Every structure is written in structure tokens, then in C-alpha cells.
Amino acid sequence: MNYFETEREQMTWTSSGGDVDVPFYHRPFSEIIDPLLETGFRLDELVEPTPTATFEEKKPGSYEKRLKRPTFVCIRASKR
């Protein structure tokens, strides 16, 4: 994987209702933040969540992977 390319990926999550295929995009951080700033938004908060201890108990292999390569970024932005 090249960090600077936008790539569509997919993960399968297991829930009480069964497996769910969840598509997502990996993209450079600048491709996430720059469009917000260019269109007049102010960045209020940015969080890169880390996996929980419960996640570690249920999926230790995936836990280690997510510590090194986060899956989510949460952004709160407001219009200036």
C-alpha cells in the first residue's frame, strides 16, 4: 500500500446479527483535512481512537494491527 494513494478497502465486522461488510477508504491525512479548511471550516477536534481492552480480549491479532495502523479518524469541524 502506498500512503499517498486513495484506496477503497473493506473489513468484515461481526455483530449480533451476523457478519457485516464495511467499506472504507484509506487516504492521506491531507486529503481529509485540506478540503474542510479550503471550504471555510474550522477544525474543532481530531481524535484517532485506539482499540479498547475488550477489543484486545476478543481479537488480539487485530488489536495489535490497529495499534500500529488506526482504522478511524474522528473529526469535529464547524463553519467559520
- Alpha carbon of 37 to those of 25, 30, 41, 67, 77: distances in Å? 20, 10, 5, 28, 9
Answering whether pTM is above 0.75, one says no
* pLDDT tens figures, 9-67: 998 888 888 999 999 998 999 999 999 999 999 999 999 999 999 989 988 988 988 88
Burial class of residue 40, CB neighbours in 10 A (0-12, 13-18, 19+) = exposed
Enclosing H/E stretch for 66: helix 60-68
Residue 40 confidence (pLDDT): 96
Q: Which long-range contacts (CB under 8 A, 24 or more apart) does 10-16 make?
A: 11/71
Residue 1 confidence (pLDDT): 74
CA-nearest of 34, 51, 47, 44 to 80 is 44
Residue 41 confidence (pLDDT): 97
Residue 66 confidence (pLDDT): 87
